[in-house]
């Protein structure tokens, strides 16, 4: 295991060393100590390595992640796993605004709560939240899945496309063109796999599914007020 003291050695050196890892690296496990809320920790990774951040992080931790597993042993600031491509990001605590925004792939697991705009413009990422999510989550979400074991705030899925939202608790309100949808057997099977992946203590049958009503795909003057 490689141990890196972020306070002593600095962010630039940390990210340079992580970026230098290749697919065949033997430095596969990294322990980052003393993060103290620093921004942009472990961004732009592109190797099958495991990075453990021992504390809370600031903006954009694990942004643009590819292949790597980043485990945050604390809470995370805005933009965690933003534009993620593959791999896995785990947050043991809470996540601030727009976690997983524009994510194309991979899995983001938040053991606590997620704030507003979780998963906005998501494009294939799977986001699993053990707690609640805030308002305007999944705004313009295009594809992928959000699983919420708690409650969802106002305007869930506003102007969404083909992403799916599974919520076990209550939804304060649905956004424009987002509706409750039938839970068919294929959705139960999909959700079961997601819950297992997220290490969630819940059953698929406890959730409701939400998604696009597909009325805003093309402009219609009768729907002008909803755009």
Question: Three-state SS for 210?
Answer: strand
Across the range 36-40, mean pLDDT stands at 96
According to DSSP, the residues that pair with 71 across neighbouring strands are 52, 90
State pLDDT tens for residues 202-225: 999 999 999 999 987 766 777 667
As a whole-number percent, the residues of the chain with pLDDT over 70 amount to 97
Contacts of 185 (CB under 8 A, 6+ apart): none
Query: Residue 227: is its pLDDT beyond 60?
Result: no
Is 128 domain-assigned?
A: yes
Is 226 domain-assigned?
A: no
User: The tokens of 159 are what?
Assistant: 């102007």
Question: Three-state SS for 174?
Answer: strand
Residue labelled with tokens 């413009």: 121
Q: How many domains does the chain have?
A: 1
Contacts of 214 (CB under 8 A, 6+ apart): 177
Q: How many CB atoms lie within 10 A of CB 17?
A: 14
CATH number at residue 7: 2.160.20.60
Is 44 domain-assigned?
A: yes
Question: Three-state SS for 53?
Answer: strand
State pLDDT tens for residues 43-101: 999 999 999 999 999 999 999 999 999 999 999 999 999 999 999 999 999 999 999 99
């Amino acid at each position: 295991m490689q141990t890196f003291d972020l306070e002593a050695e600095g962010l630039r050196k940390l990210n340079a060393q992580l970026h230098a890892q290749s697919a065949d690296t033997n430095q596969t496990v990294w322990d980052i100590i003393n993060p103290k809320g620093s921004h942009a920790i472990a961004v732009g990774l592109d190797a099958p390595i495991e990075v453990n951040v021992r504390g809370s992080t600031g903006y954009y931790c694990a942004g643009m992640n590819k292949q790597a597993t980043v485990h945050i042993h604390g809470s995370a600031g805005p933009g965690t796993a933003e534009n993620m491509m593959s791999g896995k990001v785990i947050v043991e605590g809470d996540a601030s605004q727009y976690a997983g925004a524009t994510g194309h792939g991979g899995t983001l697991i938040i053991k606590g709560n997620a704030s507003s705009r979780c998963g906005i413009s998501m494009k294939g990422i799977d986001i699993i939240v053990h707690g609640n999510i805030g308002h305007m989550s999944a705004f313009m979400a295009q594809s992928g899945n959000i699983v919420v074991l708690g409650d969802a705030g106002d305007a869930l899925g506003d102007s969404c496309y083909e992403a799916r939202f599974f919520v076990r608790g209550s939804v304060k309100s649905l956004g424009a063109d987002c509706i409750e949808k039938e839970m068919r057997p294929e959705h139960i099977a999909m959700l079961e796999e997601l819950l297992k992946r997220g290490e969630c203590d819940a059953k698929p049958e406890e959730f409701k599914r939400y998604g696009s009503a597909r009325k805003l795909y093309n402009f219609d003057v009768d729907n002008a007020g909803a755009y």
